[in-house]
Structure 1
Amino acid sequence: MTGDAAQYAPTSGSEIRFAGESDEDLPPSIHAAGAVLWRPGRSGDPEVALVHRPHHQDWSLPKGKVDPGESRARTAVREIGEETGFGAVLGRHLATVRYPVGGERKVVDYWEARAGEGSFTPNGETDELRWCDPSEAAGLLTYDSDRDVLDAFARGPRPLHSLLLVRHAKAGKRGTWPDDDARPLVDEGRDQARRVADLLTAHGVGRLVTAPKVRCRETLEPASHRLGVGISEEPVFADEAVLADPDRARARLLELAAGPTTAVCAQGAGIPTLVHELAADPHGRVRPDVASNRRLTDPPSRKGSVWSLSFHAAPDGTLRLVAADYVRDPAI
């Protein structure tokens, strides 16, 4: 993290897009990433971490600039570690803050992140860390935009469960292989698979599941090696199975979501169906309470893309989709 004055100085011209509002593909800007880092407090309610930066004399959420070749999700985890000393696992995407800095546009993405092991040591960038309940933190934060992001976190339902739905990366051309199920990834696809592994690692994935296609399995292999997690196959997630019985595939996704954070790699026809089914009411209409950065009436599914899905567990254990964040390219 750099210490220049432009690192984070939101102005009255700040624009905040919360999860669920329209998302734009903007021209290159100064990119940064951070999070509302939280842990369960003594009462069971969450408490959040704020850092004090002596160079700016401000209290803020942990955040920092994206390094060359680094994804925003990976930046958020790295910056949390550098500024607070704690490991972290990303959850739902909360908001994107945009504001002008020296004639350029700065874009800061925020997730909520559960704290792991660690301890704070004062350093040249942050000299104090405080764990506060959200109401106390709101009074301590220096910037209004940070308070708005914190409010988005505080208003979110809990507990949340995460599942990442991955479209397989780019594979050999259809028709060039006698067995379509055996089509492997091409070089570009293997690069995409490594970027997918970065995102799955940032989200703390503990289980990997694939449709029974070579291209799907190979998309998860870099994550498998990095996480030390095996890959299991489930035919229910193949395109033909999803289209034949979407209710069964949806039910299996919900079963997986109830356990450890899981990544499921599937195909281009099945994924839009699954996302829509999870977001729909009993009449097939997309529920207005599902926050998303894309239209859930026609969910996109680019090769190598990921849907980060967040579910709220009701007291009876039933899971309900509350947020669906589409990551078009995990390298971003």
Structure 2
Amino acid sequence: MTAAAETEILAAGTVCWRRVSDQIMVLLVHRTKQKDVSFPKGKLDPGESMPQAAVRETLEETGLGVTLGVNLGTIHYTLPTGGKKTVQYWAAEVTEPAVQVSRFIPNAEIEALEWVPVAQARKRLSYSADQEIFDVFANLVERDAIDTFSVILLRHAKAESRSAVFPEDRLRPLSDFGEDQAELLVPTLEAFGVSRIYSSNAERCMRTVAPLAHHLHKTVRVHEGLSQDAWDAGESNELRRTIGKVVRKGKNTVICTHRPVLPDAARELALATGSLPGEYLREATALPTAGFSVFHLSRRYPGAGILGVEMYPIKL
């Protein structure tokens, strides 16, 4: 077996959509060399995450700046070289301002962009794997659940251990490794269009989201009720109020808290959205330091429950 056949290529892409009057339109790309019709996608750059790549490739291929909505799944196929390729897709709404500032020009990679109604898109796609991803998208459209927002539960980055130097748990800072993790979080979290940031009042949580807040020019909303001290004391009312407020607002939100608090935060999120309980909540909150889970919810009908969950352990 050749080295090319043994190599797995990772790629990411989007199913871009927009509303024109009352109709959902889907973006298709016509590739120049292959003479096929597909969705925007491309290979990961070194050190890049799947969400980062999906946003970057969409911008490069179409000129459209997007943030990611609900995950639509992953496709796997074999290349002519014998190698394997894995592509992960997200839905991505394209706003009218993004359309207006697009600088797309037909080029050696993409010769044309085409907006088509949902009902016409499937038959125009060249590949069955793309059609399978589109079927997931179309199902969400049919349920009027394609307009989503995300709630991201984030465990703080690696902190200094409690010691004579740092005797008070709440005041423990991030370690040098944790500071690096906090910086590394920024581009992947940004891909989900974060507009609000909540944090425990513990120093290690506030420092974890500080680089993201600085990059996005956002204010961190600090809540004692998200802290481990409050959780240890059995104080759950503020956690419930915070989660309820986040769901009501319907904005893409990061909530940075502690390992013991995460399962309760997920449980409150399930309660606030009428979601069924299950093992998936435990799995989604068994996170390493600087790991996070993205919960996707319907913006129009948040009570319809959690539409999907993605987990991201951040590694250096």
Using structure 1 for the length normalisation, give the TM-score.
Answer: 0.82
The residue type paired with residue 180 of structure 2 is: D
Unpaired runs of at least 5, structure 2: none
Q: 1:82: which partner in 2?
A: 60
- Structure 2 CA distance for partners of 1:141 and 1:284, relative to 1, 3 Å: closer
Q: Which residue of 2 aligns with 1:252?
A: 242
Cα offset for 1:270?
0.8
1:296-307 equivalence runs, <5 A: 296-298=281-283, 299-307=285-293
* Deviation of 1:70 (Å): 1.4
Aligned twin of 1:159: 147
Cα separation, partners in 2 of 1:328 and 1:87, compared to 1, 3 Å: same
Contact 2:273 2:306 in 1 (8 A): no
Within 1, Cα distance between the matches of 2:212 and 2:18? 26
> Alignment RMSD, CA only?
2.6
2:90 is equivalent to residue 100 of structure 1? no
Residue aligning to 2:51: 73
Match of 1:187 among 153, 162, 176: 176
SS, match of residue 329 in structure 1: coil
Going by fraction, where is helix more abundant, 1 or 2?
A: 2
**Gap regions ≥5 residues in structure 1:** 1-5, 7-26, 288-293
The one-letter code of the counterpart of 1:322 is: L
Q: Structure 2 vs 1, CA of residues 255 and 320 (structure 1 numbering), >3 Å: closer, same or farther? A: farther
Residues 218-255 of structure 1 deviation map (CA, whole Å, 9 limit, x = unaligned): 11111112111121201121134346244642342231
Structure 1 residue 219 corresponds to structure 2 residue 196: no
Contact preservation (8 Å) 2:273, 2:304: no
2:226, 2:238 within 8 Å by CA — same for their partners in 1?
A: no
Question: Residue 126 of structure 2 aligns to a residue in which SS?
Answer: coil
Q: Residue 67 of structure 2 aligns to a residue in which SS?
A: strand
Counterpart amino acid of residue 80 in structure 1: T
Equivalent-residue separation in structure 2 for 1:207 and 1:297 (angstroms): 24
Tell me which moved more, 250-259 or 50-59: 250-259
Number of residue pairs matched by the alignment = 298
Distance 1:106 1:232 in 2: 41
The structure 1 residue matched to 2:18, chosen from 12, 25, 39, is 39
Instruction: State the alpha-carbon separation in 1 of the partners of residues 91 and 271 from structure 2.
Output: 25
1:274 to 2:260 alignment: no
Moved more, 160-169 or 53-62: 160-169
Letter in 2 for 1:109: Q
How big is the shift at 1:314?
A: 5.2
1:141 aligns with 2:120: no
- Once the two structures are superposed, what CA deviation does each residue of 1:48-105 show, in whole Å capped at 9, x if it has no partner? 1110001101100100000112111111111101111110011122101122233332
Give the Cα–Cα distance (whole angstroms) in 1 for the partners of residues 24 and 55 of structure 2: 19
User: Partner amino acid for 2:53?
Assistant: T
Matched, 1:309 2:295: yes
In 2, distance between residues paired with 1:61 and 1:136? 14
What TM-score, normalized to structure 2? 0.86
Aligned partner letter, 2:162: R
Q: 1:284 to 1:83 in 2, by over 3 A?
A: closer
CA distance in 2, matches of 1:47, 1:284: 29
User: Does the residue aligned with 1:164 lie in a helix, a strand or coil?
Assistant: strand
| More moved, 187-196 vs 244-253 | 244-253
Distance 2:87 2:59 in 1: 17
Q: Which residue type is aligned with residue 114 of structure 1?
A: E
Out of 303, 307, 313, the residue aligned to residue 322 of structure 1 is 307
> In 2 relative to 1, CA 216–130 (structure 1 residues): closer, same or farther, beyond 3 Å?
same
Distance 1:186 1:137, change over 3 A: same
The offset of 1:35, in angstroms, is 0.8
Give the SS at the match of 2:68.
strand
Counterpart in the other structure of 1:12: none
CA distance in 1, matches of 2:33, 2:240: 50
Tell me the secondary structure at the aligned position of residue 268 of structure 1: coil
Alpha-carbon separation, structure 2, partners of 1:242 and 1:184: 20
Moved more, 47-56 or 195-204: 195-204
